[in-house]
Amino acid sequence: MDNAGHDSRRGSVPRRALAAIGTLTALLALFVAAPGAATAASPSGGGSPIAHPELDWMGSTVAAHEGRSSGGGAVTPNAAQTLGFDVSHYQGAVNWAGAYANGARFAYMKATEGTTFRDPNFSANYTGSYNAGFIRGAYHFANPNASTGAAQADYFVAHGGGWSKDGKTLPPMLDIEYGPSSTCWGLSQAAMRTWITSFVNEVHAKTTRWATIYTTTNWWTTCTGNTSAYSANDPLFIARYASSVGTLPAGWPFYTFWQHADSGVFPGDQDYFNGALSGLRNLANNT
C-alpha cells in the first residue's frame, strides 16, 4: 500500500474522533446545565460535591438506617400536641389549604443544601403555607464534608433561612443526618461538633435566633459523641418513626418537635410540636 493511501486513512481517523468528541462535549454540557442534574458543583473548588441534592430531605436517610416501627403512625400523646409536617420539592405542589383543613398548623420546608443548592419549590411552599395560615419555617440540609458550617449558614440565611418576629416564622433549622457514603460524612466527633457550632453560631449572629436541630439519637450519639452542648439554646427536632419518641440525645429534657412517621395524612413527613398552638406561637415569636 502506498504512502498516499496510508496517509489518507490516518487523516480520516482524527476527523471522526473529533466529531465524536464534539458530540460528547455537547451532550455533557446539556447534562450539566439541566435543572436537577445529579451532581452539584463543589463550593469554591474544595470539599466534596453534593451527590444528589434533589433527593435529600428531612429524614431521607433515617428509615434506611433505623427502620420504622409498626406503630409509627399511631401515637397517643401524653399532653397537648400540635400537628404539622415537613416537605421539600420532592412532594411537588402542596395543597396547603387542604392540609390546614385536615388539622396541620405548622410546617418546615427545605430551603437549601450545602452552598450550591436551592430547593426549587421553597418560594412557593413558603408563600403558600403563610397564605393558608401556617406557622412555618425553613430548613437547611447539611453537607458537613463540603464546606464550613458558617459558610452553609450564610448561604441558608441568604436564601430563605431568615427570621422575623411576625408570629408565623419558626426558628431556622439545621437538618443533620446520615451521610451518603459515610455515616458521619467522614468527620470525627470533634470535627462534627466544631461544624455544628460554626453553623448555629452563624445563624444566631445573622438572625438573632438559635437554630432548631433536626437529628436522630443514634446519629447524634455516633457522630457527635452525644454532646449536650446545644441543649440549652437550640430546640430539638427528633426523628423516630415509632409510637414512642424513645431516648433523646444528651442534655435535652424534652423534644420541641418530633418527626414520628415518613408518610400519613399530610404531605411529606408527619410531625408533632410538643405543646399547644399557643406554645408554637411563642416559639415563633421567641417569647
Backbone angles phi, psi at 67, to 5 degrees: 75, -175
Alpha helices in 42-121 (DSSP H): 62-66, 96-101
Which residue among 86, 234, 262, 269 is the active-site one?
Answer: 86
Query: C-alpha 229: how far from its chain's center?
Result: 22
Close Cβ partners of 79 (under 8 Å, ≥ 6 residues apart): 274, 275
Which residue among 54, 56, 119, 175 is the active-site one?
Answer: 175
169 sits in the region (left: phi over 0; alpha: psi -120 to 50; else beta) called beta
Question: Does 262 participate in catalysis according to the annotation?
Answer: no
CA distance 54 to 36: 6
Instruction: Tell me how crowded residue 259 is: count the other CB atoms within 10 A of its CB.
Output: 26
Torsion, Cα of 239, 241, 246, 249 (10° steps): -20
Question: Does 177 participate in catalysis according to the annotation?
Answer: yes
Helix (H) or strand (E) holding 30: helix 3-33
CA distance 192 to 220: 10
Strand-strand pairing, 269-273 and 257-261: antiparallel
Strand-strand pairing, 106-113 and 135-141: parallel
Name residue 284's amino acid: A
Which residue among 177, 202, 262, 271 is the active-site one?
Answer: 177
Tracing cell 471522526 back to the chain, one arrives at 16
Question: Does 113 participate in catalysis according to the annotation?
Answer: no
Q: Is-contact 272 83, C-beta < 8 A?
A: yes
State the catalytic residues: 86, 175, 177
